[in-house]
Amino acid sequence: MSTSTMTSATRGTWGSRLAFILAVAGSAIGLGNIWRFPIVTAEGGGGAFVLIYLLCAAFVGLPVMLAEMVVGRAGERNPVGAIKHLGNGTKWRWVGGLGVVTAFIVLSFYSVIAGWTIHYMFSAGVGKFTETLDTDAYFIEMVADPGKEMLYHGIFMIAVILTVAAGIRNGIERTIKVTMPILGVVLLVLLIRSLTLPGAFEGLAYYLTPDFSKVTANTVLQALAQAFFSLSLGMGAIITYGSYLQKDESLPSSAGYVVMLDSAVALLAGCIIFPALVYANLPLDEGGPGLMFQVLPQVLVQLPWAPWGGILFGTIFFLLLAIAAFTSAISLLEVPVSYLVDEKNWKRKKATWFVGGGAFLIGIPSALSLGAVGWLTELSGFEMSLIDLLSGPFMDGALVIGALGLSLFVGWKWGLQRALTEIRQGSPDFKLSAIWAFSIRYVAPIAIVSILTFQLYSIFTPDSSPEESPEEAVIESTDL
Ligand code: TRP
């Protein structure tokens, strides 16, 4: 008991459960909600996909999220330290180690892309997108400009570093309490704008009309993978945030709120995007950065009350993206920082600047890999850019492996009874314990192994990806 009091006093804690929920939701709600969910939904059978996604999130994502929170709070440490502590120093701590490394690498290129959103926010604000503009050329020029790429990557990273360096309560919590309400308001304003455009209904129909004929085994696996990705599982982020939570707070309902908030934002993002695309007569089948940075800006010039409508809604749209990326990046940086603070006794400030600075430097080749430096753009032997080469294994692969390790650790090694004891500290009448235990032991591991098999299978069956020009491939395959 005395060690636990000591650690929580020196490591910091959340001021309230609301702060914890908002911080975890901030981690979960990211670029994946806005540029990946809508497109996989539209392609995966609309309402049918939404239904499958919600089932995956509720029956697999939610239990794993709860498991991460439990490990964090019971272990009272970063992912490596928590697992080492709970598992009596076993090799399972490598599951945490994988999370620390993955978070660091993902941060390095997440920041590059987040930098684009800041650049675009300014561009929209000064009216760039309300003139007739070749948005493809605009994007390609930006990524080919080393100065711009590094400047915005740097601005974003410094903002993340300053937040994390100030600590849990004074840094992360304070920031989250400002940014998350702004995110909510912006989302609402954009939603009203989109839904009152002519053609809104057609857009919604394209997005959400259930088409069960499009549902295959792959659709289900895609929904599962998206749920893990969107809920920020498998990288130790939720373990880390859970470690700053007081013992008397309820973990199951916190996890439930996060899953609801995250799913709601993902759903609403599509309700903003598709009506706008239909209104502006733009292609509906693009996702990822191509959609955000090349297609959607073309809506702005056509919006009513020109040019002010386009300037206003364009600016706040990219603000929405920037905030979503920012609150996710904060949690990415916090993972390696908490590792250095807990395990290596580093001071938080030093650890933050070291890790954040390192991620900035490591991110530079990624930043230059979309046109600024030729050989990074087309890595020989791989035929893709560095940023794409990293994003696949680290964003899709590593987090799935991490989530598998964590479920097995909780279900089979550390023990469900111990986990339930921890959960009951804050929610004595946790009713779903049998379902949760079953999911962590069997459902989640089986689901995750299926995703992994599916991912490996698609890597080794190259004909699944259609032929594209290299330029298109660069833009489209950065599929965060
Ligand atoms: N959930 C984030 C999104 O939707 C992406 C993400 C995956 C993430 N794993 C993470 C963010 C870990 C922070 C920490 O975009």
The lowest-confidence range among 92-106, 417-431, 449-463 is: 449-463
pLDDT at residue 464 tops 80: no
Instruction: Report the pLDDT averaged over residues 35-62.
Output: 94
pLDDT at residue 5 tops 50: no
pTM score over 0.85: yes
Q: How many angstroms does the Cα of residue 197 sit away from the middle of ligand 1?
A: 31
Instruction: List, chain by chain if needed, residues with CB within 6 Å of any ligand 1 atom.
Output: 27-28, 30-33, 229-230, 232, 235, 237, 328, 331-332, 399
Q: Which residues, other chains included, contact 324 with Cβ-Cβ below 8 Å and sequence gap of 6+?
A: 29, 30, 31, 33, 34, 183, 265
Ligand 1 atom nearest to 27, measured from its CA: 13
Geometric angle at alpha carbon 72, from 70 and 77, rounded to 5° = 155
Omega within 30 of 0 (cis) for the link into 466: no
Q: Which of 95, 63, 65 is nearest to 79 (CA)?
A: 95
pLDDT at residue 202 tops 60: yes
Copy the structure tokens of residue 128. Answer: 């760039």
Q: What is the 3-state secondary structure (H, E, C) of 283-315?
A: CCCCCHHHHHHHHCHHHHCCCCCCCHHHHHHHH
For residue 361, the number of C-alpha atoms closer than 13 Å in the C-beta half-sphere is: 6
Q: How many angstroms does the Cα of residue 198 sit away from the middle of ligand 1?
A: 34
pLDDT for res 459 = 79
Ligand 1 atom nearest to 29, measured from its CA: 4
pLDDT at residue 16 tops 90: yes
What does the alpha-carbon distance between residue 74 and residue 85 come to, in Å, rounded to a whole number?
A: 9
pLDDT at residue 400 tops 60: yes
Domain 13-472 in CATH 1.20.1740 = yes
CA terminus-to-terminus distance, the chain: 42
Q: How many angstroms does the Cα of residue 262 sit away from the middle of ligand 1?
A: 11
pLDDT at residue 1 tops 70: no
The lowest-confidence range among 39-53, 221-235, 456-470 is: 456-470
What does the alpha-carbon distance between residue 238 and residue 71 come to, in Å, rounded to a whole number?
A: 9
Ligand 1 atom nearest to 28, measured from its CA: 1
Exposed / middle / buried, residue 43 (Cβ in 10 Å: 0-12, 13-18, 19+) = middle
Beta bridge partners of 379: 384
Instruction: Report the pLDDT averaged over residues 171-184.
Output: 98
What does the alpha-carbon distance between residue 83 and residue 70 come to, in Å, rounded to a whole number?
A: 11
Query: Where do the structural domains in the chain lie, given as residue ranges?
Result: 13-472
Indicate the average pLDDT of the chain: 92
Nearest CA to ligand 1 atom 8: 232
Confidence of residue 390 (pLDDT cuts 50, 70, 90): confident
Q: How many angstroms does the Cα of residue 228 sit away from the middle of ligand 1?
A: 9
pLDDT at residue 461 tops 90: no
Nearest CA to ligand 1 atom 10: 232
What SS3 class is residue 379? strand
pLDDT at residue 52 tops 80: yes
Q: How many angstroms does the Cα of residue 223 sit away from the middle of ligand 1?
A: 15
Instruction: Report the pLDDT averaged over residues 71-93.
Output: 96
Instruction: Report the pLDDT averaged over residues 132-142.
Output: 93
Give percent above pLDDT 90 in the chain.
Answer: 81
Confidence of residue 6 (pLDDT cuts 50, 70, 90): very low
Ligand 1 atom nearest to 329, measured from its CA: 13
pLDDT for res 102 = 96
Q: Which residues, other chains included, contact 337 with Cβ-Cβ below 8 Å and sequence gap of 6+?
A: 164, 348, 351, 352, 355
What does the alpha-carbon distance between residue 362 and residue 109 come to, in Å, rounded to a whole number?
A: 8
The lowest-confidence range among 76-85, 373-382, 423-432 is: 373-382
Helix-strand-coil percent breakdown of the chain, rounded to 5?
80, 0, 20
Ligand 1 atom nearest to 399, measured from its CA: 9
Q: How many angstroms does the Cα of residue 232 sit away from the middle of ligand 1?
A: 4
pLDDT at residue 50 tops 90: yes
Pick from 235, 259, 265, 399 the residue to mutate for probing ligand 1's pocket: most ligand atoms within 8 Å of its CB.
235
pLDDT for res 458 = 80
pLDDT for res 3 = 45
CA distance readout (Å), 146 to 112, 121, 342, 365, 414:
11, 19, 37, 10, 48
The per-residue pLDDT for range 465-477, each reduced to its tens digit, is 444 444 444 444 4
pLDDT for res 132 = 87
pLDDT for res 460 = 81
Q: How many angstroms does the Cα of residue 463 sit away from the middle of ligand 1?
A: 29
Q: How many angstroms does the Cα of residue 199 sit away from the middle of ligand 1?
A: 32
Instruction: Report the pLDDT averaged over residues 304-313.
Output: 96
Give percent above pLDDT 70 in the chain.
Answer: 93
pLDDT for res 382 = 66
Ligand 1 atom nearest to 234, measured from its CA: 9
What does the alpha-carbon distance between residue 475 and residue 458 come to, in Å, rounded to a whole number?
A: 20
